[in-house]
Every structure is written in structure tokens, then in C-alpha cells.
Structure 1
Amino acid sequence: MKFIVDAQLPSGIAWILNNRGFDAVHTDDLPDKERTTDQQIREISVTQNRIVVTKDADFLDSYYIKGIPKRLLLISTGNIRNKELYQLFANNLGQVIQMFETCNCVEMDNTDLIGHE
């Protein structure tokens, strides 16, 4: 699986994914870095078949309205410390990957994983 991590999330999320054997890029790895637009992220996700990892609910709206991105991991934890986010992400990654076998949109909050159709 391939991922693109939005600027609203720390680059450590991409690091975790890469260390687990996935292909992940963070917007900091792109030419426009944190100024990479949502539209550019959507285009990259489609052309490179990447799952968008974001906190930005605008991506959820475009997922439902336009079907873009095709796959989305929405992090809806609110403001938590990066250390807590990394731990939550790492602890739930296996289940998130399993959910993507049947869902195209997965939401992770502080306590639950929710698959959206």
C-alpha cells in the first residue's frame, strides 16, 4: 500500500508507515512542502494510487462528493501530543490495513476505528 500524509500531520506518521514496509510520503517530501494544496494531494493520490492520511475534513467531503481521493484515512483525534498520536497510529495500523481490504475510507479517533463506505 502507498500513502500520502497531509501537512496537518507530523512527518513521523510517514516514518512509521515506511518502517512498517509501506511506501509513504509526507507533504514535506514534495516540492511545495507544507504549501502543497489539497488539490495537488488529491491528484497525487489518484495518479500514484496513494491513500490520503489527513486530519482535514475537507478530504472527507471530497471523498463523498467527488470520489476523490479514492481511499482516505481520516485522523479525527483532535489535538493530541505527537507522541500519543504516534503510539495510537502504530498500535492501530494493523487493523487499519485490514479495514482497507473492505473499506475505502477509515476514520481513526482516540478510541475507535470506523469504516466508511
Structure 2
Amino acid sequence: MKFLIDAQLPMRIAHLLEKLGYDVIHTKNLPLQNATPDSDINKLSILEQRIVITKDKDFLDSFLIKQEPYKLLLITTGNIK
């Protein structure tokens, strides 16, 4: 399973998933880092079949309307350090 962690979530999540053996990219590791546009995240997700993990509800709208990203895990939490 492959994941792409969005900017609002901490690198800790990426490190934990990597430790469990998953293929993980955090937006901080992309060329534009946390400034990577949602459209680019969607394209990468589809191209590499990555599940986007995010708190950003804009991805939910995109997923429901355009079936982008590839798959979506929307997390709702309070602020995370």
C-alpha cells in the first residue's frame, strides 16, 4: 500500500507508516514541499496509486466530484503538533 501525506499532518505519521513497511511520501518531500497544489497531489496520487491522507476537506469535494485523488483517507482531528 502506498500513501501520500498532506501538509496539515505531521511527518510523524509518515515515519510511523514507513516503520510499518509502507511506501510513504509526505508533501514536505515533494519539490514544492507543503506549497504543492492539490491538483499536483491528485495527479501524483493517480499516477502512483497512492492513498492521500489529509485533513483538507477540499480533497473530499474533488474525490466525490472527479474521483480524484486515487483514494482518500480524510482525518478529522483537533490541532496536531
Aligned positions of 1:23-38 closer than 5 A: 23-38=23-38
Q: TM-score, normalised by structure 2?
A: 0.95
Q: CA RMSD in A?
A: 0.9
Shift of 1:70: 2.4
Q: How does 1:1-117 map to 2 (within 5 A)?
A: 1-79=1-79, 81-82=80-81
Identity of aligned residues (%): 52
Greater relative CO, 1 or 2 (CA 8 Å, sep 6+): 2
- 1:22-81 C-alpha deviation (Å, 9 max, x unpaired): 0000011111111111011000000000000000000011110001112111111132x4
When Rg is computed on C-alpha atoms for both structures, the one with the higher figure is 1
Q: Distance in 1 between matches of 2:72 and 2:56?
A: 11
Q: Quote the Cα distance in structure 2 between the aligned partners of 1:11 and 1:67.
A: 26
Q: Tell me how many residue pairs correspond in the alignment.
A: 81
4+ residue runs of structure 1 moved beyond 2 angstroms?
none
> What is the distance in 2 between the residues matched to 1:70 and 1:42?
7
Letter of the 1:41 counterpart: I
Q: What TM-score, normalized to structure 1?
A: 0.67
